[in-house]
Structure 1
Amino acid sequence: MLEVGSVAPAFTLPDKDGNSVSLSDFAGKKVVLYFYPKDSTPGCTRQAQAFRDAFAQFAAEGAVIIGISKDSVKSHFNFAAKQELPFILLSDTEKEVLQAYEVWQEKKLYGKVSMGVVRSVYVIDEDGKIAAAWTKVKPEQSAADALAFVCSCNK
């Protein structure tokens, strides 16, 4: 996990429509960056729905939500359409951003070891620094935790 206070690694990735999106596009805003394993799986769907349901509250606090996984642009397009996701989904098929944010790690599932995305959330402040970080988050809880943090920053 990257340390709170460190500069967030810069990136440019394609969104669900194939448009390039860079972290620098959101300079001066809070960015809630969440990393998840795979589109349309039960846990990832619940997590995306939680961010969707809190989208207006994040927007009211001036925060942008960005979800990143290694899924393709087409997969993100379908996932966003099916779940009516109003926020940005970015495709990192080369896993460069996943590695830069230290979320591409060895995982164990039923005794099998493989590489994968560790469900994580970062809040990046208006100056591009990591203000908060959570790893191995629960899908349903991660949006609420990030929202509580963002709200506490604006008081």
Structure 2
Amino acid sequence: MPELQLGDLAPEFNLIGTGDRWYALQEFLGRPVVLAFYPDDFSPVCTTQLRAYSANIDDFTQLGAVMLGISPQTLSSHESFKDRLGIRFPLLSDRERSVAKAYGVLGPLGFYRRSVFVLDRELHIVYRHVSRAGLTFRSSDELLQAVQKAVA
């Protein structure tokens, strides 16, 4: 499968997520969307990353943006992670890794690569970052700049 490029329409998905509901990308048409793919609930870097994004969620919301975290853990793991850390945006369960495959964020042996996509109101990719090594993450400021460009 060819790598997704800037300007491409983001692949559709429908995943179960926190709040025990299904999330389809199409439901966010008309709003910018930030998709934060992360390897594992409760890992040190993921914990730091999602806490940082959660701390800035009001800035994303003021721009009309929706943030979704996506990883391969179970819904119960996501609920526990979200509750324990006070994460303020939905976490979606990609158990089959089908969404990760569609977005090209699976690494060797099927592990998630820490990756972020920002979509414009028409769900086209306007920002993408796929990490080869997941020890760092994109800052909220960098993502907010991408969202600002998407709504300009």
Q: TM-score, normalised by structure 1?
A: 0.89
Match of 2:114 in 1: 119
**CA-to-aligned-CA distance 1:53-109 (integer Å, 9 cap, x gap):** 110000001110000000000000000001111101100001100100000121xxx
- Quote the Cα distance in structure 2 between the aligned partners of 1:69 and 1:116: 10
User: Percent same amino acid among aligned pairs?
Assistant: 34
Please, what is the CA RMSD of the aligned residues? 1.3
Are residues 1:70 and 2:82 paired? no
- Correspondence 1:51-66 to 2 at 5 A: 51-66=53-68
Say whether the 8 Å CA contact 1:121–1:142 is kept in structure 2: no
Match of 2:129 in 1: 134
Deviation at 1:144, TM superposition (A): 2.4
1:145 paired residue among 142, 146, 150: 142
- Correspondence 1:9-24 to 2 at 5 A: 9-24=11-26
**CA-to-aligned-CA distance 1:30-65 (integer Å, 9 cap, x gap):** 000010000011000000011101100000011100
Q: Which amino acid letter does the alignment assign opposite residue 124 of structure 2?
A: K
Match of 1:36 in 2: 38
Say whether the 8 Å CA contact 1:11–1:22 is kept in structure 2: yes
Q: Which amino acid letter does the alignment assign opposite residue 91 of structure 1?
A: S
> How many residues are aligned here?
147
SS in 1 for 2:68: strand
The runs of 5 or more residues in structure 2 that have no matched partner are none
- Quote the Cα distance in structure 1 between the aligned partners of 2:102 and 2:139: 21
SS in 1 for 2:45: helix
The runs of 5 or more residues in structure 1 that have no matched partner are 107-113
Q: Which amino acid letter does the alignment assign opposite residue 52 of structure 2?
A: A
Deviation at 1:152, TM superposition (A): 3.6
SS in 2 for 1:117: coil
Deviation at 1:2, TM superposition (A): 1.4
More strand per residue = 1
- Quote the Cα distance in structure 2 between the aligned partners of 1:104 and 1:18: 25
Say whether the 8 Å CA contact 1:47–1:143 is kept in structure 2: no
Q: Which amino acid letter does the alignment assign opposite residue 57 of structure 1?
A: D
Match of 1:5 in 2: 7
